[in-house]
Amino acid sequence: MSMDVFQPCYTRTMRMCRSFSKRLIYEKQGNRAGHCEQLFKELYTELTLHAEVEEDIVYPFFEEKQETREIVEESLQEHEEIETLLSELKVMPPDDEEWMST
């Protein structure tokens, strides 16, 4: 199995994150909390699915290989950090000032 197989998934997720960030800033500047909340739900769903696929399918394969084991461990730590941030944002109202700074 090669990482090339998963490139479309990474590309899609990165595009979505960039698009989400731009749209979120635009909506936040327009004080449209409802739209921000919907955008966040979309991103939350996409990132959660992306992480699950990586953790269930991709990482076990590469964790067995000596040369990629450390990268997998770092990636799992990053997932935990992102999961924590997403959980914090999920319970926070989007019009909260802290929401954008988190």
pLDDT digits (tens, 9 = 90+) for 2-59: 555 556 666 777 787 777 777 777 666 666 666 777 778 888 888 888 888 889 988 8
pLDDT of 80: 92
Tell how many helices (H) and how many strands (E) occur in the chain: 5, 0
The four Cα atoms 65, 71, 60, 46 give a dihedral, to 10 degrees, of -150
Q: Count how many domains the chain has.
A: 1
Do the domain assignments include residue 98?
A: no
Are 24 and 39 within 8 A, CB to CB? yes
Q: What pTM was computed for the model?
A: 0.69
For residue 101, tell me if it sits in a domain: no
Q: Which domain holds residue 61?
A: 3-93
Q: Tell me whether residue 76 is in a domain.
A: yes
Nearest Cα to Cα of residue 25 among 41, 10, 39 = 39
Q: Tell me which of 43 and 99 has the higher pLDDT.
A: 43
pLDDT tens readout for residues 59-76: 898 888 888 888 889 889
Using CA atoms, how far apart are residues 94 and 101, in angstroms rounded to an integer?
A: 11
